[in-house]
């Protein structure tokens, strides 16, 4: 019994670490978006020399920010939801746990699709369109990573429900 608890704490700790790393990447993306947007405004309006790469960069970084922020929102159970009757259930209710398991399975399925698409993009050496082109697999990889870690977060919510604070 004690070993089971220790293993569950280790697994929960690993998932929390992955979620925190994803959240750090998401926050870093937001800071970079802010910095390059300020740079663009400065160059455009003070030096009359607009940049060509900022809009593409913001688009890519926005995708990273959203996909890597998804696991933290999931772990905190703060995603957008309509939960008229779920709010009345206790946190460890079997129906709530079942929904977390279903959500984890859906996230794993999306991860599978994203990995399949990423492998195709990698094998075909596909790049994004625009003035600053990057490999498409980078964007698709962020989708796969975000959904896979979100699936782990849903699984931990199903197994070890959060206590009310």
Identify whether 128 is part of a domain.
yes
Give this prediction's pTM: 0.81
Work out whether the CA dihedral 113, 30, 151, 14 comes out positive or negative: positive
Q: How many domains does the chain contain in total?
A: 1
Identify whether 164 is part of a domain.
no
Identify whether 165 is part of a domain.
no
Both tokens of 104, joined, read 């984890």
Domain region containing 121: 2-159
Identify whether 27 is part of a domain.
yes
How far CA 40 is from CA of 9, 29, 44, 127, 139, in Å, comes to 46, 16, 6, 24, 23
| Residue tagged 């259930």 (tokens) | 89
Identify whether 35 is part of a domain.
yes
**d(C-alpha 9, C-alpha 16), whole Å:** 10
Identify whether 88 is part of a domain.
yes
| Tens-digit pLDDT profile for residues 77-116 | 777 767 777 677 776 777 888 888 999 999 999 999 999 9
């Amino acid at each position: 019994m004690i070993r089971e608890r220790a293993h569950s704490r280790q697994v929960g700790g690993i998932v929390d670490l992955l979620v925190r790393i994803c959240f750090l990447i998401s926050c870093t993306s937001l800071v970079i978006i802010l910095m390059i947007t300020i740079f663009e405004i400065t160059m455009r309006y003070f030096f009359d020399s607009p940049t060509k790469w900022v809009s593409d960069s913001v688009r890519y970084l926005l995708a990273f920010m959203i996909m890597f922020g998804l696991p933290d929102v999931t772990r905190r159970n703060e995603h957008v939801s309509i939960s008229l009757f779920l709010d009345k259930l206790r946190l460890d209710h079997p129906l709530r746990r079942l929904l977390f398991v279903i959500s984890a399975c859906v996230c794993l399925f999306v991860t599978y699709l994203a990995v399949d698409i990423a492998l195709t993009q990698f094998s075909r050496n596909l790049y994004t369109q625009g003035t600053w082109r990057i490999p498409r697999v980078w964007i698709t990889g962020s989708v796969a990573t975000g959904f896979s870690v979100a699936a782990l977060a849903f699984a931990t919510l199903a197994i070890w429900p959060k206590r009310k604070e």
